């Protein structure tokens, strides 16, 4: 029987961290289905979706190997079994991408995600980054969010609501249908 797991891992960025984590996946006979990896500050962070055959307590072996990664390599790693079928976007939803840009401030992610949650809009992916303006040196926050909008909500209603949130935060929010 096949089982699916989400593995999270992070550690001080250096050459080889991905090889060491993916070795655990490979040596346990698992297939890497999906992943997100990035450098945050000076830490390399990854989220992996893997699948493997349940032969001799696969989850227990993966957990043991995660502890070994921490002891021997300084990589914090965790495994969680995924129960249920593969997720797909709901048929009765429309897909959009939100792009947000403005001066960095506390609450941008919270206030936008709160608006989305209050309107039953699902976030399927989010990437954000803070950079400094080459002209002024000001901290500029950018974010791209993939969302699934339920049937019944018009693009105009969505755009209008997001404009209000953007105005309150003093950030620009653009909306693109996928």
pLDDT at 38: 96
Q: How far apart are CA 62 and CA 45, in angstroms?
A: 18
Phi, psi of 42 (to 5 degrees): -115, 25
* Domain boundary residue, one of 56, 82, 108: 82
pLDDT at 5: 97
Structural domain for 109, as ranges: 93-177
**Residue 101 sits in the same domain as residue 120:** yes
pLDDT at 112: 98
Q: Identify the band that residue 90 occupies on the pLDDT scale cut at 50, 70 and 90.
A: low
| Residues 73-87: b if buried by 16+ CB within 10 A, e if exposed | bebebebeeeeeeee
State the CATH number of the domain containing residue 130.
Answer: 3.30.70.260
Question: What's the mean per-residue pLDDT of the chain?
Answer: 95
- The verdict on residue 88 lying in a domain is no
pLDDT at 87: 64
pLDDT, tens only, 15-72 = 999 999 999 999 999 999 999 999 999 999 999 999 999 877 999 999 999 999 999 9
pLDDT at 71: 98
* Domain boundary residue, one of 50, 82, 114: 82
Residue 154 has pLDDT above 90, yes or no: yes
Q: How far apart are CA 117 and CA 119, in angstroms?
A: 5
pTM reported for the whole predicted model: 0.84
């Amino acid at each position: 029987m096949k089982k699916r797991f989400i593995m999270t891992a992070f550690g001080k960025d250096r050459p080889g961290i991905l090889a060491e984590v993916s070795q655990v996946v490979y040596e346990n006979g698992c297939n890497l289905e999906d992943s997100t990896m990035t450098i945050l500050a000076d830490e390399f962070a990854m989220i992996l979706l893997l699948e493997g055959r349940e032969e001799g307590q696969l989850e227990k072996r993966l957990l043991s190997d995660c502890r070994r990664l921490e002891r021997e390599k300084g990589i914090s790693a965790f495994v969680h079994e995924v129960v249920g079928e593969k997720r797909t976007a709901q048929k009765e939803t429309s897909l959009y991408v939100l792009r947000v840009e403005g001066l960095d401030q506390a609450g941008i992610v919270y206030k936008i995600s709160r608006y989305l949650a209050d309107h039953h809009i699902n976030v399927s992916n989010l990437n954000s980054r803070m950079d400094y303006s080459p002209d002024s040196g000001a901290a500029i926050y950018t974010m791209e969010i993939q969302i699934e909008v339920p049937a019944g909500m018009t693009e105009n209603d969505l755009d209008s609501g997001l404009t209000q949130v953007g105005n309150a935060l003093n950030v620009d929010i653009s909306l693109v249908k996928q």
